[in-house]
Structure 1
Amino acid sequence: MTTYGYARCSTNENKQDINRQKRELKALGCVDEKNIYWEYESGTKVDRVELNKLLDKVKAGDTIVTTEVSRITRSTKQLCEIIEKVKEKQLKLVIGGFVVDCSKGELDAMTDGMLKMMGVFAEMERNMISERVKSGMANAVAKGKVIGRPITTIENLPSSFIKHYPKYRSKEINKSELARICSISRQTVHKYVKVYESAEEK
């Protein structure tokens, strides 16, 4: 029986430090860092690479720990799907101090209800944040400010990508490995590679 941890932040390492979650996961029982799966992805994204790897890896009797329900997902629908997976695989799910024991393949009605309520609040919080962001953007536009992501250039590529790109270029690692090391998607790696190669050609 093994304890695994899952940590997630929405933006990249330059804006959010995921190490705090890792420390908290160790305090919750996932003492071996190699068993901590982590990524920088939106909590509403369904197909998350590291979460899927973790759910495929765990076996009956294993435990998954996370700091709060919003780290796993901000979608009530996806949370229900994860709960079913936990029951199917007979796992324990620890969310902060809340223990969901499905090691016998079952979940009592009270725990099930509380867990789903936590999911509803996580989704509601996300929607409220989204509404505030949209309101702020509309206000900024009304004041004549330019809204949108800055153009990606070699000057603003993440330091982790710049550091590990030479390994990809020398074929020591492939795009998937580079994406994992940098905690970004393969699509983002492809975009960054094009930016880097275009800069080199100039």
Structure 2
Amino acid sequence: MEIYGYARCSTDETRQDINRQKRELKKLGVHSEQNMYWEYESGTKDDRVELNKLLNKVKQGDTIATTEVSRITRSTKQLCEIIELVQRKKIKLIIGAFVVDCTKGELDPMTEGMLKMMGVFAEMERNMISQRVKSGMAHAKAKGKSIGRPRLTVEKLPTSFIRHYPKYLAKEINQVELARLCNCSRQSISKYIKIYNTL
């Protein structure tokens, strides 16, 4: 029986640090780095690569740990699908201090109801954040301010990417492994490679 961890941030490593979640996962019992799945993706996206890998990997008796519901999903629909999978595979789901144990049987209605309510609040929070961001952008645009991130240049590429990129060029590692070494998303790695190749 294995204990796996899942961590997620919605924006890339330059704006959010995923290491705090990793530290919390270790406290929840995920001691092996190989059992830790993490990515920079939206919590509403239902085809997240690392999450799907984890959900396909777990087997009966295993445990999935995450720091809070919003890390594993911000979609009530997807949370219901994950709850069904937890029951079907008879695994344990740890969400911070909240434990959903289906290793010995079905999920009791009270626990299921509480879990779904947590999912509703996570989705509602995401919608409120999105609304505030859109309102803020519209206000800034009306004042004539430029919208969006500053343009990333070769000089601003992370030092970890510069250090490990030669291994990728030598085909010693692939893009996923490079992303892990640089502690960033695959999308960021693709962007960094494109920028670096403009030299």
Secondary structure of 1:198's partner? coil
- C-alpha distance in 2 between matches for 1:115 and 1:161: 39
Counterpart residue type for residue 132 of structure 2: R
CA offsets 1:102-144 (integer angstroms, 9 cap, x no match): 1135211111111111001000001111111111101101110
Matched, 1:54 2:51: no
Q: 1:197 maps to what in 2?
A: 197
Aligned pairs for 1:1-202 (under 5 A) are 1-182=1-182, 183-185=184-186, 187-199=187-199
- Structure 2: distance between partners of 1:81 and 1:107: 14
CA distance in 1, matches of 2:175, 2:10: 21
Instruction: Label 1:146 to 1:18 Cα distance change in 2 as closer, same or farther (>3 A).
Output: same
Q: Alignment RMSD, CA only?
A: 1.7
Structure 2 gaps, min length 5? none
Change (3 A) 1:191 1:27: closer
Displacement after TM superposition at 1:93 (Å)? 0.3
How does the TM-score come out when normalised to structure 1? Answer: 0.90
**Structure 1 pair 17/98, CA: closer, same or farther in 2 (3 Å)?**
same
Q: What TM-score results when the alignment is normalised by the length of structure 2?
A: 0.91
User: Contact 2:12–2:188 (CA<8 Å) still a contact in 1?
Assistant: no
1:188, distance to aligned residue in structure 2 (A): 4.1
Supply the distance in 2 between the matched residues of 1:180 and 1:173 (Cα, whole angstroms): 10
Q: How many residues align?
A: 198
